[in-house]
Amino acid sequence: MSTSLLAAHGLVKAHGPTPALRGVSIELAPGEVVAVTGPSGSGKSTLLHCLAGIVRPDLGTVEYAGERLDLLPEKRLSELRRTEFGVVFQFGQLIPELTAADNVALPLMLAGTPRPAARERAGAWLERFGIQERAASRPGEMSGGEAQRVALARALATEPRIVFADEPTGALDSLAGEQVMSALIRTARASGTAVLLVTHDAQVAAYADREVSLLDGTAAGHGFASTAPGELRVQEVPR
């Protein structure tokens, strides 16, 4: 689509001798929430890492707002991840020595915001996610759901154009997972942020506008064209 914010075409990526992606194409429009689903080992996380500029594809192109991510120098990729991309992983990856407020303030300070202003904005983001009372707590003092909401606040604090969320509820129970997803989608909708969500959970995928399924060649059927063994194909499930 011509209005795409992020578009990947023909992505190929292998981890050593093991193929992870073979010719995958996907697009993400501004403000859109897309869930990438599929069985374990189908390449979901590898696709997210390629789209976020964390790893480079072996072949194919990734274009973001007119820039070819697959060709950009690491310095520019790091800048995009600090300012225009937010990334959330399954276990949050908060810095254990820092408080919740300092974890959220860190990307703001790295982007040049003075510490007092960064701390003030961090407090406002923690409040938006309903965990302002945990501002002085360290990750080890919080529940898994609380820590993951801090991770979401950190990812969104720089007001990115895209949030990449890799199994953000995978380590949580169903109630905490529902709280985290509700907070993520509500906040993303309010700010017009696009979300690329990787999940194996159908309930989590149901929050998305559109679902893209990755399947390898041995899982033929489901309306897929024939393909070489091991090749990943994309199936879009309309909402």
Q: How confident is the model at residue 148 (pLDDT cuts 50, 70, 90)?
A: confident
State both tokens at 48. Answer: 């997210």
Does the pLDDT at position 124 exceed 90? yes
**Domains delineated in the chain:** 6-238 (3.40.50.300)
Helix (H), strand (E), coil (C) string for 91-148: CCCCCCCCCHHHHHHHHHHHCCCCHHHHHHHHHHHHHHCCCHHHCCCCHHHCCHHHHH
pTM, full prediction: 0.84
Higher-confidence residue of 41 and 55: namely 55
Question: Which phi and psi angles does 9 have, rounded to 5°?
Answer: -135, 125
Q: How confident is the model at residue 92 (pLDDT cuts 50, 70, 90)?
A: low
Average pLDDT over residues 179-185: 89
Does the pLDDT at position 232 exceed 60? no
